[in-house]
Structure 1
Amino acid sequence: MFPGGAPDLQQLMQQAQQMQQQVMAARAELTSEEVTGSAGGGLVTATMTGGGELTAVTISPAAVDPDDIETLQDLVVAAVRDAGRLANELAADRMGPLMGGLGGGLGLPGA
């Protein structure tokens, strides 16, 4: 089952605590990092933290047509979605290695 007998519970708890600290540090780091999504060739941009908080939207005057508000609205939505996608990718990049070790990294049975 386990090489050398039963797992050392204290060692497993220490590993879990270290991993929890790493996850918390990575989450804190994500809230300070920003990504910027865009739409319409950069006419509209949206900036978001790695934690998913929308912090800014920039609209180029060239994107503003009083007779076509729907297109501007679509561009804003597309830019926010793009920023969200980039924030998710950033989070996966930062958190993935930490979360990937949850099963086998602790030497738990069945992992």
Structure 2
Amino acid sequence: MFPGGDMQKLLQQAQQMQTDMMKAQAELAESEVSASAGGGLVTATVTGDGELKGIKIDPQAVDPEDVETLEDLVIAAVQAANDSAKRLAAEKMGPLGDALGGMTGGLGLPGM
């Protein structure tokens, strides 16, 4: 059934890859990335797994007559920070996710 391979060895490799993936996921949750918009007027910070942790707004960005621009800057900063988090996740999880996805046939098995 497993030409040239040993089932026990295959299971051990799968368990090690799952352990490595869980470690990478924990590292992502602890990592933070920031991005700004409007030349640094608004900065958003998110974790590596995409949780919004903070927003910094330069007082120069606050214009009571133009709240829409500030709202747009906040959205842009959050989106840029999330893009950075996705890149970080792809760097950390890419090889592990590809390997596990290939082993499970992309079935989305829990923990894999």
TM-score when normalising by structure 1: 0.86
Match of 1:41 in 2: 39
- What amino acid does structure 2 have at the position aligned with 1:39? A
Cα separation, 1, equivalents of 2:64 and 2:72:
14
What are the within-5 Å matches in structure 2 for residues 1-111 of structure 1? 5-102=3-100, 103=102
For residue 98 of structure 1, report the CA deviation from its aligned partner.
1.2
Deviation by residue 1:62-92 (Cα, 9 ceiling, x = unmatched): 0000000000000000000000000000000
- Structure 1 segments (4+ residues) deviating >3 Å: none
Letter in 2 for 1:25: K
Aligned length: 103
Q: What secondary structure does 1:67 align onto?
A: coil
Distance 2:6 2:97 in 1: 22
**Secondary structure of residue in 2 paired with 1:38:** strand
* Unpaired runs of at least 5, structure 2: 106-112
Query: What's the TM-score, normalizing by structure 2?
Result: 0.86
Identity %: 59
Shift of 1:6: 4.8
Task: Provide the secondary structure at the position in 1 that maps to 2:46.
Answer: strand
Where structure 1 has 5 or more consecutive residues not aligned to the other structure, the ranges are none
Give me the whole-angstrom Cα distance separating, in 1, the residues matched to 2:40 and 2:92.
26
- Deviation, structure 1 residue 101: 2.4
Q: CA deviation at 1:37?
A: 1.2
